Structure 1
Amino acid sequence: MTRTQRRTRSIALTMGLAMTLAACGGTTQDSAQDDPVAGDEETLDPTDADDTADGDANAGGAEDYEEGLAITMLPKSVNNPYFEASSDGAQMVVEDELSGTYEYTGPSEATASSQVSYINTLSQQGVDALLLSANDPNALCSSLDQASSGGTAIVTFDSDVDPECRDLFVSQVDGEEVGRALIEMAAEQIDGAGEIAILSATANATNQNAWIDVIEQELANNPDYADIELVATVYGDDEDEKSFAETQGLLQAHPDLEAIISPTTVGIAAAARYLQGSDYQGEVALTGLGTPNQMREFVEDGTVEEFALWDPGALGELAAYTGAALASDMITGEEGDTFTAGDLGEYVLGQDGVILLGPPTRFNAENIDEFDF
C-alpha cells in the first residue's frame, strides 16, 4: 500500500467515524474556514512547462479541485525573501483560485529540529496539505509519517526528503542542470582558471548537496574545467550574518580565490554585501542562485556579473496546486498522473513522485530589470 493509499484509507476511516458520530447526535471538529516568468533565450533549457503533460484523460481542471482545503507552507526558515515569494504564489492559489484557507509558518533558524515541532502541530490540526521545504532528508520522516497517517497530503518543494517520507516533490528544476549551470557561470567569469569556493546553506540541505555533487563531478570529469580548483565548501545555514562571516573567512583563508558560488538566496546576498565596496569588488567573482529584486543593486554596481534562479512565486503556485490535487483525490501520486495547475498549465508526475517546474533563468545587467520578484 502506497503512502497515498494509506492517506486515502485514513480519510475514509475518519469520514466514516464522523458519520457515525453525527448519527448518534455527536459533533465533530469543524473543518477550516470558509505566469511563470518567461526566460526566452536566457533560459538554460527551452522546455516549456506546458510540454510536461501528455494531456490524457487524467488531467484535471480547476473545477475538479475541492473547495475549502486547509493548506500550510512550512519553509526552511521564515524571513527569507525566496520563501516569502513562494508563499505569495501559494497563498494566491489557495485563497483566490481554490477558496481555501492558507497559512505560512516556520522557524526562524533553518534546522531540522525546529521544523519537527511545526510538523507535529500541523499534524494535530489536521491540515489537508503540507507544503514543506526540508532542512534534512531523514530527520523529519517520523513526524511526516504521523501527519500522513492523519490524512495530510505531504508535498515537499525546493528541498526534498527521502521519497518514502512524503507523497510528492515539486522540484524547481532538474538538479544536474542547476549544478552544471552554477559551475558554468563561475568558469565564464574567471576565464576557466583559478580557485573557487562554495558558500552553501545548511550541511544537510538536500538540494544544495545535490548541486554541489554535480559541481564536483564536473570539475573532476569535464576537461573545460581542468584549471579550476574547488578549495573550500562552507555553510552559512541560510542566516545572513553567518553567511556574511563565512564569506569573510573564505577570502581571508584563500587570498588567491577567484570566485564564490553560493547556491542559496540568503548566501549570495550576504556575500554580495561583503564584496560591495571592498577591495574584493570586481576582483572576486560571485555567482549562484538569487532573486532579481535582492540582487539588482549588486548587478548594477558591478559586484555581481550574473546569477540564476527560477520564479519562486511560480514554484509556490505549483506546490499549492499539487497539494490541492492530491488532497482532492484528483491524482493518486502514481507516475504518469496529470493535473492542471491553473495558468501554469498541465503537469505530469515523474518517477518517485517528482514534478518539475521548469528551467531557470540567468540574470545579468541586460535583462534583470525585466523581472520583479
Structure 2
Amino acid sequence: MAARNTRGRAIALAMLAALTLAVSGCAGQEEPTASQPSGAGSASGAPGAIKEGLKVAFLPKQVNNPYFDASDNKGGKVAVAEFKGAYSQTGPSEASPSAQVSYINTLSQQGSDVIVVSANDKDAICGALNEARAAGAKVVTYDSDTNPTCRDAFINQASAEGIASSQIKLISEAVGADGGEIAILSATANATNQNAWIEMMKTELAKPEYSKLKLVATVYGDDDDQKSFQEAQGLLAKYPDLKGIISPTTVGVAAAARYLSGSAYKGKVQLTGLGTPNQMRAYIKDDTVKSFALWNPSDLGYLAAYTGGALASGLITGKEGEKFTAGKLGEYTVGKDGAILLGDPFVFTKDNIDDFDF
C-alpha cells in the first residue's frame, strides 16, 4: 500500500506485522503535498502536473450514504482541490442502476472531464459510460466496478481475496471453535464487488479450518437501512440456530448491529462485516460486535480523484504497468485491466477503534 502521512496510518502499519491486515487511518493528517507524476505538462506549465480546472464529478451508488460521504466529500473533494479542479457529487438517493444512467447522461452533457462512479450494476450503465467517454470524459470506477470495457480505470479498495479471507477469519474467531450456521447480509443482488466477495467467501469456507462453519443463507438489504434491519431480523426468525452474520456493506452491518444490540440475540449471534468506525463504535463498545474491517473510504475517493486527474491530463492511459503519484498517498501502479489497488482491509476492535475518526 502507498505511504500515508497520518497518525492512523502509523497505527495500521504497526498492526500489520501482527494482523497481516492493513489500511490507513485518517486521524491527525498532515497537510498534503501536490502530486508531481512524470508525464505531460499542465495548463500552468508545470511539467508532469495534473491540469488545472478539470471538472471532476463523483457519482456514488447512492448519496446521503455515510460511506460515500467519506469517500467523496472527505476524500475526492480534497484531492480535486489540491490539483485545482472543480469538484461535484451527484447521484440517486436509492441504489439503482437505471437512476445512475440518467445522471451519467447529464454529467456528459455538462462537459465533465472526469466521471468517478461506483456501479450499482456492472453492465447496466455501460452504454451511458461509453457515450460519456466518446464525448471526452475519462471514467474511473471505485468501490464497485463495471465491465472493464466501460471505463478507463478501476480503484479497487482491497483485493477480493483479502476481503473474503478477512471476513471468514473474523466470523470464525467470533463464533468460536464449535462453529455453526452463518449467513451473509449483502447489499444489492447485482453489486459487482459484493458478489465477488461472496463467491470467494464460499471458497474460503471450503478450507479444512472452517469445516465447522455452515453458510445457510445470503440475503440482500439493497444498502437500505430499514430493509437491512428487517433482513437481519428475518434471518434470526428463519434460522433460530444461527451463530453468526457477515455483512460486507457499511449500511448492512450497521443495521444488523442495531437490531442485534436491542434483541435477545446480543452476545449469542456474532456479527462482522465492513463498516466505518463512527458507525460501529457504539456496537463495539457494548460488545454487540467484536471486530469488523474496512479500508479508509476517504483515501479511496482521494485516489480515485487523482487517477481521474492523471487520465484527463494525459499522464496515464490506464495501461498495465503505468505509474503515477496520488498526492499524499504516494506512487501507484496500474494493474491488469486498468485496476489500481488501494490496499488490504484493516481490522477494528475495541482496543483500536478510538484511534480512527471517519
Residue 326 in 1 paired to residue 299 in 2? no
Q: Equivalents in 1 of 2:47, 2:226: separation in Å?
A: 43
Q: Distance in 1 between matches of 2:47 and 2:305?
A: 13
Query: Structure 1 stretches of 5 or more lacking a match?
Result: 1-34, 50-54
1:86 and 2:71 matched: yes
2:320 matched to 1:335?
yes
Aligned-pair distance for 1:332?
A: 1.4
> In 2, are the aligned partners of 1:59 and 1:346 still within 8 Å (CA)?
no
Q: Which residue of 2 aligns with 1:208?
A: 194
SS in 2 for 1:232: strand
Instruction: Describe how 1:215-364 pairs up with structure 2 within 5 A.
Output: 215-220=201-206, 222-364=207-349
SS at match of 2:223: coil
SS at match of 1:76: coil
Query: Post-superposition shift, 1:40?
Result: 2.1
For residue 360 of structure 1, report the CA deviation from its aligned partner: 1.5
Within 5 A, what are the aligned runs for 1:58-77?
A: 64-77=49-62
TM-score, normalised via structure 2 length: 0.89
Match of 2:182 among 193, 196, 203: 196
CA contact (8 A) 1:42 1:362 kept: no
Residues in 1 aligned to 2:100 and 2:161: alpha-carbon distance in whole angstroms: 27
Structure 2 equivalent of residue 151 of structure 1: 136
Matched residue SS, 1:231 = strand
Q: 2:15 maps to which residue?
A: 42
**Alignment check: 8 A CA contact 1:238 1:266 kept:** yes
Letter in 1 for 2:320: E
What aligned pairs does 1:10-21 form with structure 2 within 5 A after superposition?
A: none
Superposition deviation, residue 59 in structure 1: 10
**Which amino acid in structure 2 is aligned with residue 313 of structure 1?**
S
| Structure 1 counterpart of 2:97, one-letter code | A
**Which AA in structure 2 matches 1:359?**
D
Of the three residues 82, 86, 89, the one matched with 1:104 is 89
User: Match for 1:113 among 98, 113, 136?
Assistant: 98
Give the TM-score normalised by structure 1.
0.86
Which has more radius of gyration? Answer: 1
Matched-pair contact (CA < 8 Å) for 1:195–1:231:
yes
- Displacement of 1:277: 2.4
Separation in structure 1 between the aligned mates of residue 241 and residue 182 of structure 2, nearest angstrom: 9
Deviations 1:147-176 (A, max 9, x none): 000010000000000001111000001111
> In the aligned structure 2, how far is the partner of 1:184 from the partner of 1:360?
12
Structure 2 residue matching 1:155: 3-state secondary structure: strand
Deviation (angstroms), 1:58: 5.7
C-alpha contact (below 8 Å) 1:72/1:102 kept by paired residues: yes
Deviations 1:71-115 (A, max 9, x none): 0000001111110000121001112x1111111111011011111
Name the CA distance, whole Å, in 1 between partners of 2:327 and 2:47. Answer: 7
**DSSP-derived class of the 1:313 partner:** helix
Q: Given the alignment of the two structures, is residue 127 of structure 1 paired with residue 112 of structure 2, yes or no?
A: yes
* 2:167 alignment partner AA: L
Amino acid corresponding to residue 346 of structure 2 in structure 1: T
Residue 187 (str. 1) matches residue 160 (str. 2):
no
Displacement after TM superposition at 1:225 (Å): 0.7
CA RMSD of aligned residues (A): 1.9
Deviations 1:301-354 (A, max 9, x none): 111100000000000100000000000111111111111101100000001000
Shift of 1:191: 1.3
- Confirm or deny: 8 A CA contact 2:39 2:314 kept in the other structure: no
Residue correspondences, number:
332
Write the distance in 2 (CA, Å) between the matches of 1:232 and 1:268.
16
Q: Is the 8 A contact 2:21 2:345 kept in 1?
A: no
- Distance in 1 separating the partners of 2:239 and 2:250: 23
Give the Cα separation in 1 of the matches to 2:154 and 2:135.
19
Match of 2:27 in 1: none
User: 1:58 touches 1:337 (CA, 8 Å); kept in 2?
Assistant: no
Output the amino acid matched with 1:216: K
Give the share of equivalent positions with the same residue, in percent.
57
The residue type equivalent to 1:303 in the other structure is T
Please give the alpha-carbon distance, in whole angstroms, between the structure 2 residues aligned to 1:42 and 1:246.
34
Report Cα offsets for 1:214-254 as digits up to 9, x if no partner: 1111112x000111100000000000000000000000000
Name the aligned partner's letter for residue 65 of structure 1. Answer: I
Distance (Å, rounded) in 2 between the aligned partners of 1:277 and 1:293: 19
- Structure 2 equivalent of residue 31 of structure 1: none
Deviation sequence 1:1-43 (CA, Å, 0-9, x none): xxxxxxxxxxxxxxxxxxxxxxxxxxxxxxxxxx464212434
Compute the displacement of 1:56 (Å): 9.7
- Structure 2: gaps of 5 or more residues: 25-35
SS of corresponding position for 1:210: helix
